[in-house]
Amino acid sequence: MEKWQLYTTNEIKPSGWLRRQLEIQAEGLGGNLHKVWRDVRDSSWIGGTAEGWERVPYWLDGFVPLAYLLEDEEKIAVAKRYIDAIIAQQKADGWICPCEDDKRESYDPWAIILITKTLTVYYECSRDERIPKIIYDVLKNYYGLLKDGSLKLFSWGKFRWFEAFVAINFIYGRCKEEWLIDLAQILKTQGADYASFTEMWKHPLAWWQWETHIVNLAMMLKYEAVSCELLGEEYTDVAEELRTLLDKYNGTPVGLFTGDECLSGLSAIQGTELCAVVEQMYSYELLYAYTGDRKWAERLEVLTFNALPATFSDDMWAHQYVQMSNQIAAKRFPGKSLFGTNGSEAHLFGLEPNYGCCTANMHQGWPKFALSAFMHREGEVVNALPIPSVLDTEELFVSLDTEYPFKNQFCYTLRAKSDVSFTIRVPSFAQNVVFDGKRLPTEDITLALKAGEESTHTLSFDVSPYIEARPHELNTVKCGSLVFSIPVSYEKKMYEYEKNGVERKFPFCDYEYLPTSEWSYALCSDELEVERRDISSYPFSSTEPAVVVKARVAPIDWGYQDGYNSVCAKVPNSTEPVGEAREIELYPYGNAKLRVTEIPKI
CB atoms within 10 A of CB 187: 27
Strands 502-504 and 497-499: antiparallel
How confident is residue 149, by pLDDT bands cut at 50, 70 and 90? Answer: very high
Residue range 566-583, pLDDT digits in tens: 999 999 999 999 999 999
The predicted pLDDT at position 256 comes to: 98
Cα dihedral across residues 59, 61, 64, 65: positive or negative? negative
Cα dist. 539→90, 289, 594 in Å?
42, 27, 17
How confident is residue 34, by pLDDT bands cut at 50, 70 and 90? Answer: very high
Contact 318, 353 (CB under 8 A): no
Mean pLDDT taken over the chain: 97
The predicted pLDDT at position 271 comes to: 95
The H or E element containing residue 414 is: strand 409-416
How confident is residue 196, by pLDDT bands cut at 50, 70 and 90? Answer: very high
DSSP 3-state percent helix, strand, coil across the chain (nearest 5): 35, 25, 40
Contact 387, 18 (CB under 8 A): yes
Q: Is 571 helix (H, G, I), strand (E, B) or coil?
A: coil
Question: Whole-angstrom Cα distance, residue 287 to residue 98?
Answer: 32
Contact 514, 331 (CB under 8 A): yes
**Nearest alpha-carbon partner for 246 in 261, 271, 265:** 265
Question: Whole-angstrom Cα distance, residue 44 to residue 50?
Answer: 6
Please compute the mean of the pLDDT values over residues 283-300 and round it to a whole number.
Answer: 97
Q: Does residue 586 surpass a pLDDT of 60?
A: yes
Please compute the mean of the pLDDT values over residues 200-216 and round it to a whole number.
Answer: 95
Residue range 340-394, pLDDT digits in tens: 999 999 999 999 999 999 999 999 999 999 999 999 999 999 999 999 999 999 9
pLDDT exceeding 90 applies to what percent of the chain? 99
Sequence length of the chain is 602
Question: Whole-angstrom Cα distance, residue 56 to residue 42?
Answer: 10
Q: DSSP code of 37?
A: -
Please compute the mean of the pLDDT values over residues 492-517 and round it to a whole number.
Answer: 96
The predicted pLDDT at position 206 comes to: 86
Please compute the mean of the pLDDT values over residues 228-247 and round it to a whole number.
Answer: 97
Q: DSSP code of 106?
A: G
Q: Does residue 1 surpass a pLDDT of 80?
A: no
pLDDT exceeding 70 applies to what percent of the chain? 100
Q: DSSP code of 202?
A: H
The predicted pLDDT at position 2 comes to: 76
Contact 1, 289 (CB under 8 A): no
Please compute the mean of the pLDDT values over residues 540-556 and round it to a whole number.
Answer: 98
Residue range 423-464, pLDDT digits in tens: 999 999 999 999 999 999 999 999 999 999 999 999 999 999
Contact 204, 264 (CB under 8 A): yes
The predicted pLDDT at position 315 comes to: 98
Q: Is 174 helix (H, G, I), strand (E, B) or coil?
A: helix
Residue range 474-499, pLDDT digits in tens: 999 999 999 999 999 999 999 999 99
Q: Is 185 helix (H, G, I), strand (E, B) or coil?
A: helix
Q: What is the maximum alpha-carbon separation in the chain?
A: 75
